[in-house]
Every structure is written in structure tokens, then in C-alpha cells.
Amino acid sequence: FEGVACVAFHPRFPENRKYYVKYHVRNQGSHFSPVIVERQATPDLLHDAGVPSRRVLQIHQNTDLHWGGMIAFGPDGYLYIGAGDAGPQEDPEGHGQDLKVLNGSILRIDVDRQDGGRPYAIPELNPFRYAAPPIRPEIWASGFRNPWRFSFDPATGDLWVADIGQNLFEEVSIARAGENHGWNVYEGFMKFSEQHRRDGEKYTPPVFSYRREYGVSVTGGYVYRGRRNPSYQGAYLFGDFESKRLWALTQADRQLIKVRQIGESPQRIASFGLDHDGELLLVGYEGTIYRLELDGSDFHTVPMLQARVNLLRNGLPAAARVSITGRDDLPYAPDAVPLRKTAAGESYFYADRVFEAKVPRGRSRLTFHGGLETIPQAAVIDAGADTELTVRLQSWIDLAERGWYSGDSHVHLHTGGPISVTVADALVAASAEGVNFVNLCVSNVEGDDIRDSELITGKPHPASTDRHLLVFGEEMRSMIYGHMQFFGITKLVEPQYTGFDNTPFSVDFPANYQMAAEAVRQGAVVTYAHPMFTGQPFPFDDDLARPNGAARELPIDAILGVAHAVDIMSYNSDEPLSTELWYKLLNCGIKLAACVGTDALLDRSTDPPGGDRVYVKIAGPFSMESWLAGLKSGRTFVTNGPVPLLEVNGQGAGETIRLPSAGKVQVAATVESYVPFDQVELIVNGEVVVHTAVPAEGTSGVKLARVAVELPIERSSWIALRVRGPADRQVFDG
């Protein structure tokens, strides 16, 4: 079998040894279609008998999307089949509303009989059993997008269907014969499209729907009818594949009574199962089967208290990145505030000045972060009533006082993600992370969907403050030549992308130079994004036509003067490989500034902006112009924690020292850090010439290391300072 999705055992399996497998086969083209076959077990019921399969049903489709997944025998003895809408995204052909195709429906067939030339029969009470062709009589209920898992309540016979959503909502429904559950006219409770609405059609809403900030792919479970925890009796337990959250809900007449999160899975949730006692099992995507232990919880009683937290810095209201973990080890956030998650799995939200959150009564842990220059704070709420707390954020260093201002070249505001954000939210994030300059990149999402281009003005957005500048720039994306960020452009440089299939700019033309030159004409500074990826052959793939976002054209554009910097650090790149590429370009005499672009997405759960960052030494007051001038001149350092400062003959980063002949230079390096580091290296022309191991003792608090040496210089050279350290929970992209 290829791509097995589900197995169902015949109700009389001990006698007839029949079981059914849903898997995928290739069509005559390149796409897969779901197939259901009948197999037979050996007499001891422990192995497959090895006899040929009997093909029961194939559901043809023309994309590799939304196959559905579940098959199960109902209490009536018939086989129920979950069929997805077969794509493409958003179901433009309206399969979910088309009774002439099997897609987008729950099907019901009788595998014990055959009629009408089919290898199965149509149950007498199927709602479309006697409908005129071409309506498909197999359809039992319609209007589904991708019903990956469904189950029957053994006590009531209700069919619970978890349907994976499109852009905004996941949904849980109780389906009944002949009903239309709405897709793609509705997504969850909200209208989605009028294109395939039928006059007079009645649409059945879900019991429960949740926004994608809580998860992006619902996995259906079971109604609890076990004995170990009576408080869950009759509650439907389910989860989300991606967020790994587990919920339980109760309903009456398909109206939601109560829903609460009851846990989080160690692995992404692929499926659920039941043991012989009706207790739930969870199938992890990585291959582990877990038993849900409900003994220590009570579904009906979760006493909550209100926590009010005031955030201050230097006695003034401040913003912060906050994590709250309740006594149940679950994350919490204020109402209507999106809960995000880092790549390491830590949940967080942004708060400005003051916030209120409901947390379980008892001990809750809170952490507060203010970016690389701020000392992380921790607090514990252990109270039996509503409480108030004031947190005073403290900096361990203030680099702006020394003329260094931080920035992130690559942050996206709107990418079609599930979190609703505005420019004001971007300002809160920048303030909370202590990032002074944020380049909010306009780019296509997928295809020709370009967002926020009207906000490009060549000036800081009016929401900016004197300490935090939000400037809309551009990420120019070529699938062959690499991605670039433009700082300070006055209007969108077009084409904004090249080489994206099925778009107006599907060809790999023009080369990046044309767009970079136009950006420079507008007065922009240009940097190349995520120049090298993990596992990528150095410097580039042999197959130059294979799509790749690496900086393939960077050397040429730098030589031609239209690329000024390169992002040495990014959440999406390999820093050692990217640094090696930079070293090679410097060795060729190409002076490129070191920059950073995290590629953080503010409308999705990612690591935060500024977890990696570039610091720029500016001349005069902080402004967009002074920051970009400092970046272009190379007065920068990049970091995700330590602060490395380098002087050669009294000159700082980005400066040029002219010697009359070969000789020696005085090098002074200082490293300050609140996170651990254990190595300090001086690099000359790509080679380590000084390596200093830093003792691990006394790693708490601020750590300081100094290196002062005299280096011989015999030819044209460049000198850099590099700091390394161990992984640390405070460090992103480490």
C-alpha cells in the first residue's frame, strides 16, 4: 500500500476475518486518489492472509490535496467514508456543494452486498438512494472540506466529524443523514464564498469552531464513555495536529455547553483510538501511541482567578513578551490576545503597559522578556483570589547610549496567517523586543498575492516612535537568484517576485540586478536574505534551475554596487555556511556589511522579531537616514545574545585603516553578555588567528571577556571578531 490512511475492521471480523484499508494510488497522471480495498486476515486473526485485495471504491481527484482519511463501520453495520473536497485550496470548483461527485462528503456503503454493477450496495435509507443521476447515492452528508477523523458515540449513535479548515477556522460537527455542513459557502460559523451557494439550501453549523491561533489542523477524537473519570462522561475529546492541544467539549442538541483545553500532546496528534474499556489512546505523528490519563482532572471544575500585571521600565509603562503557565502546565493569555509559540515550543504573547489574564487558581508561573538588552524576569502567582502584580523590567546594557541601535531587516506583517495584526501590533512587538529599526517587508505570499505595498513611502510609518522606527520596505523574491530586502524605498519595486509557477512572473527574468538597481535609484540600501540553507552544497547546487531562495546572485550584484549587505543570521538559514560565504566575498575585496533578517512573521507563530539582530553605530541622532547610513558603511555587528565590540588601532567596525607598508596593528576586543559564551575568536581573512577559551565559572549575570593583541598585517586584510557559546533557553536560533 502507498500512503495508508486508515483501517476498519468488519463488525463480524472474528467470523469473516474481513478488514478494510484506505490508501492512495496514483491516477494515470501524477496525482493520488484514495482507494478502499477489502482484505482478509489469517484464521488466528493475527496476520494478513496474503490473498488478493478486493477493490471496493476509488475516489478520483485531480490534486494531491484533501483526501479525507477516515473509514469506520457505524452502529448500523455500514461502512462510512470521509472524502475530502480534493482541492485546489478554497475549493473553487465547489466539490463540497456538488452532489454529483463523491468529494467533500461523508459516504455510506454496504460492503456485504453488491448491486447496480458496483462492488458494494447502496443502503436503503441513504438520503440520495433514489435521487436521479448524476447525483451520487453513496453520499450520506455533504459540505465538508477535509474530514480527516470522525467517530460514533456508542451511547447515542451520533457521528462526530472533525473537519480541517481553510484559512481561519477548524470545526467539530455532529453530522446526520442528508445534511449539508456548508463548505465552501461557510468556514466554521462564518460565510466563506457565495460562488456555490444554492437557493433554498439549509446549512448545518458546527457544534464548535476555533480560530487558527489555537491550531491549524483539527484531529477528531471520541466521546468519552470510559469508567476511570466520570466527570468526562459524554464529553467529546479531540485535538489539533499542529498545536498539539487537547480539548474536551460537551453539547446539548448540537449547541455547545462547555469546552476547555485539558492538555497538550508530546507529539503532533495524528489520530485517536479506544481501548477495550473505552479509554482514549492518542497516536503521535512520530509513531508513539499514548494513553490519556484523565484520573487527576475534573472536567467540570476549573476554578479561575484574575491576574492583573503592570509592566514598567525605568518607572514608565513598558511592553514585554510574556509567558504564563498555569498549575495545569497549560499556557494562558489575556482574552482576545493571540497566543504564539516559539520554535522551541514555548507559548508567549505580547503585552503593552498592563494586562489582565484568567489563570487557574493555584500556582502559575510567569516570565517576562524585553529583548537582548533586558534581564529576563520571572514571577509566581500562588493565590486563592484575584491578584495584582507589578513587574519592573531592567536592562543589563543600554547600547543606544553608546550609539548602537538594533534592527531587523526581514519582518513580515501580513502573510495570510491566522493571527490578526495591525501596524500597532508591530510597534508593540518592536517595543517588547527592544528593536529600534524594523524593516516590514512587503512581498508576495503565494503566487501573486502581494500585501501592504501601499504602505511603502520611504519614511517611517506614523505609528513609529523616536525609539522604534517601523519602515515598510520590500522582500524581492526570486526562486533562482535569491531573495533581497530593500530598506528605504519610496514605492514597490516590480516585479516583486520571479520564478513562481502559475503566476504573471513565472519565468526567471529579469535577473535580480534590475530590481536592486531600481531600489538603489530610489535611495535604498539592499541586503540579501538567508544566503545559505542547512545542508546546501557550498556554494550552490549543481542544478542551477532548481528553485532555491539562497543568495546565488549576491556576488555579481555586490560587484556591480547594488548589494550593500548580507544577512549573516536568519531563522531560515545556516549561519556557519552564510558566514563562510561572506568571508569568501570579503576575501575577493567585496566590502559587504553584516546584517540580520529573522524572517519573523507577525501574523503567525514564529520566533519573535529581533531574536537575531544587527546593531548599527550611527552618527548623530537616531533616524531612518542615520541608521541606514551606518548600515551601508558597515558599522555593524550581528548577534543573538553577546555584544562583541572590536577596535583596530582605535578604529571601530566598518572603518578602513591604511598602513604605509606591512606592519602590526593593535587589536582590542570586548565581549559583554547576559547569556553564556565560551569562545572568543579573532578572524583575519577568514582564518582564526586568535582563539580564547572563556571559563564557564560565574556564568550567571553579566559576563565580560577582553582580548588585546598585536597582529602582523602583511597584505590587504580584513579583521573580524566572532563569539561562540552553548545553547541557552534565552537564545533564539542558537
What CATH number corresponds to the domain at position 333? 2.60.40.10
| CATH number of the domain that residue 277 is part of | 2.40.10
Q: Are residues 632 and 506 in the same domain?
A: yes
Question: Is 544 found in the same domain as 555?
Answer: yes
Query: Residue range 625-635: average pLDDT?
Result: 98
Rounded Cα distance between 89 and 183, Å, is 12
Single out the residue in 597, 624, 640 at which a domain terminates: 640
**Domain-located, residue 711:** yes
| Dihedral sign for Cα atoms in the order 181, 187, 192, 195 | negative
Domain co-membership, 145 together with 13: yes
What is the DSSP annotation of 362-422?
Answer: EEEEEEEE--TTEE-EEEEEEESS-EEEEEEEEES--GGGGTEEEEEEEEES-SS-SS---
- Among the residues of 588-664, which ranges form H helices? 624-633
CATH number, domain of 134, equals: 2.120.10.30
pLDDT of the residue at 572: 84
User: Rounded CA gap, 108 and 651, in Å?
Assistant: 78
Does 319 score more than 80 pLDDT?
yes
If asked whether residues 325 and 293 sit together in one domain, one would say no
Radius of gyration of the chain (CA): 30
pLDDT in tens, 578-600: 999 999 999 999 999 999 999 99
Which of 346, 377, 395 is a domain's end point?
A: 395
User: Worst-scoring range by mean pLDDT, 38-42, 301-305, 453-457, 631-635?
Assistant: 301-305
Instruction: Give the pLDDT of residue 382.
Output: 86
Cell, residue 476: 524581492
- Residue 1: pLDDT over 50: no
- Cβ neighbours of 338 (radius 10 Å): 22
One domain for residues 520 and 500:
yes
- How many domains are contained in the chain? 5
- pLDDT tens track for 328-343: 667 899 998 999 988 8
- Would you say residue 49 lies in a domain? yes
Residues 695 and 569 reside in one and the same domain: no
**Mean per-residue pLDDT over the chain, rounded:** 93
d(CA 556, CA 707) in angstroms, rounded, equals: 36
**What pLDDT does residue 383 have?**
74
Identify the bridge partners of residue 241 per DSSP, sorted by sequence position: none
**Do both 432 and 513 map to the same domain?**
yes
Judged against a pLDDT cut of 90, whether residue 548 lies above it is answered with: no
Q: Could you tell me if residue 477 is inside a domain? A: yes
Terminal-residue alpha carbon distance, the chain: 41
Please count the other Cβ atoms lying within 10 Å of the Cβ belonging to residue 619: 10
Find the domain containing 445 and state its range.
399-640
CATH number at residue 562: 3.20.20.140
Nearest to 444 by CA among 398, 491, 471, 483: 483
Beta-strand ranges (E) seen in 241-303 are 245-252, 255-264, 269-274, 280-284, 289-291
Q: Up-side HSE of residue 488: CA atoms within 13 Å toward CB?
A: 18
> Do residues 567 and 613 share a domain?
yes
Pair 18, 142 in one domain = yes
- 3-state DSSP assignment of residue 208: strand
Nearest to 263 by CA among 285, 288, 291: 291
The confidence band for 363, taking pLDDT boundaries of 50, 70 and 90, is: confident
Which residue type occupies 602?
A: L
pLDDT, position 698: 57
Statement to judge: residues 49 and 190 lie in one domain: yes
DSSP string, 650-674: TB-TT-----SSSEEEEEEEEEEES
Q: How would DSSP label each residue in 64-126? A: SS-----EEE-TTSPEEEEE----STT-TT-GGG-TTSSTTEEEEEBTT---TTSSSB--TT-
Contact of 552 with 544, CB cutoff 8 Å: yes
Please indicate, yes or no, if residue 15 is contained in any of the structural domains: yes
Give dist(CA 549, CA 522) in Å, integer. 24
> Which residue has 465552501 as its cell numbers?
184
The C-alpha cell of 121 is what?
450496495
Do 547 and 426 lie in one domain? The reply is yes
Is the pLDDT at 345 greater than 90, yes or no?
Answer: no
What's the pLDDT tens digit per position in 515-537?
999 999 999 999 999 999 876 77
Q: Which pLDDT band holds residue 25 (cuts at 50, 70, 90)? A: confident
In a domain, 1, yes or no: no
702 pLDDT tier (thresholds 50, 70, 90): very high
Mean pLDDT of the 119-129 span: 97
Residue 303 confidence (pLDDT) = 75
Lowest-pLDDT choice from 381-390, 605-614, 691-700: 691-700
Alpha-carbon distance of 647 to 49, in angstroms, equals 76
266: in domain: yes
CB 694 within 8 A of CB 733: no
Name which residue leads in pLDDT, 66 or 542.
66
Report the alpha-carbon distance of residue 262 to residue 295 in Å, rounded.
Answer: 12
Work out the number of other CB atoms within 10 angstroms of the CB of residue 486.
27
Same domain, 350 and 362: yes
Strands 269-274 and 280-284: antiparallel
The count of residues in the chain is: 734
Residue 31 has pLDDT above 90, yes or no: no
Tell me how far apart the alpha carbons of residues 77 and 112 are, in angstroms, rounded to a whole number.
9
Q: Residue 431 and residue 396: Cα distance in Å, rounded?
A: 16
Among 212, 236, 260, the domain boundary falls at 212
pLDDT at 55 over 90: yes
Average pLDDT on 130-146 reads 97
- Omega cis (within 30) before 531: no
A 10 A CB-CB count for 263 gives 20
pLDDT digits (tens, 9 = 90+) for 385-426: 899 999 999 999 999 999 999 999 999 999 988 899 999 999
Of all residues in the chain, the percent with pLDDT exceeding 90 is 82
pLDDT higher than threshold 90 for residue 675: yes
pLDDT band at 669 (very low <50, low <70, confident <90, very high): very high
Cα–Cα distance measured from residue 607 to residue 590, given in angstroms and rounded to the nearest whole number: 32
